[in-house]
Chain A
Amino acid sequence: KNEVEQSPQNLTAQEGEFITINCSYSVGISALHWLQQHPGGGIVSLFMLSSGKKKHGRLIATINIQEKHSSLHITASHPRDSAVYICAVRAAMDSNYQLIWGAGTKLIIKP
């Protein structure tokens, strides 16, 4: 079993829908990252959080440390949101900031 599990693996939705991508992890962590990988391959960091909730534009990330679970939400989704969304965690005892990576969720938003 992977230490970081994402669901769903693939998600197709219509423009305007509310999107939720989930990330569950099995290790104690000091931080959790959400990243976006564009169809062209570039990887961009969206959020880094260790508690609570963060919002940036139409993106919202939440984390529940007790339940070892995080969600990424996209409101009013748009075709340009189509990408792979990756969850990664930093283990609590790691001193060199190695990240444990999820396999990603491929999101397609249809017009």
Chain B
Amino acid sequence: NAGVTQTPKFRILKIGQSMTLQCAQDMNHNYMYWYRQDPGMGLKLIYYSVGAGITDKGEVPNGYNVSRSTTEDFPLRLELAAPSQTSVYFCASRGPINQPQHFGDGTRLSIL
């Protein structure tokens, strides 16, 4: 099973560019999450979704947008990249309430 798949693994952007980080899961999980992890820091929740068509802001949503048109996919969009968005981005999904979150391998994003 693939689990949670994130693409790309690495990306360098120029200030002001836009891009979409892709996240797909094949476990039929309703809950999906986007986190960012800055060097030496803990994970911070950007956005989450409790099912197709439903998304909500997390702790640090500014500068990002998400959509959830299908159960499988939960893309994260950066519209106007800023150096402060240089980070490692993790996508995660979860099934029933008594189960842990499953993480993708992360996307390392640098804004120069």
Count of residues in A whose CB is under 8 Å from the partner chain:
20
Given A41-B106, A42-B106, verify A99-B42 contact (CB < 8 Å).
Answer: no
Interface positions of A from 70 to 111, Cβ below 8 Å from B: 86, 88, 96-99, 101-104
B31 touches A43 (CB 8 A): no
Interface positions of A from 1 to 24, Cβ below 8 Å from B: 4
Neighbouring B residues of A41 by C-beta, 8 Å: 88, 105-106, 108
B31 touches A96 (CB 8 A): yes
A44 touches B103 (CB 8 A): yes
Tell me, rounded to whole Å, the shortest Cβ–Cβ distance linking A106 to chain B: 9
A66 to B94, CA, bound (A): 28
Count of residues in B whose CB is under 8 Å from the partner chain:
26
> At the interface, yes or no: A26 with Cβ under 8 Å from chain B?
no
Given A42-B106, A104-B42, verify A99-B101 contact (CB < 8 Å).
Answer: yes
B103 touches A97 (CB 8 A): no
Q: 1/0 per residue B85-97: CB within 8 Å of A?
A: 0001010101001
Tell me, rounded to whole Å, the shortest Cβ–Cβ distance linking A95 to chain B: 9
A43 to B44, CA, bound (A): 14
> At the interface, yes or no: B19 with Cβ under 8 Å from chain A?
no
A44 to B103, CA, bound (A): 7
Chain B interface residues toward A at CB < 8 A: 31, 33, 40-45, 48, 50, 56, 58, 88, 90, 92, 94, 97-103, 105-106, 108
| The 7 nearest A-B residue pairs measured at CB | A45-B100, A43-B103, A101-B42, A103-B42, A101-B43, A41-B106, A48-B100
Chain A interface residues toward B at CB < 8 A: 4, 33, 35, 40-45, 48, 86, 88, 96-99, 101-104
Provide 12 A-B residue pairs closer than 8 Å at the C-beta atoms, listed in order of the A residue. Answer: A33-B100, A40-B105, A41-B105, A44-B103, A45-B100, A45-B101, A86-B43, A98-B45, A98-B48, A99-B43, A103-B41, A104-B42
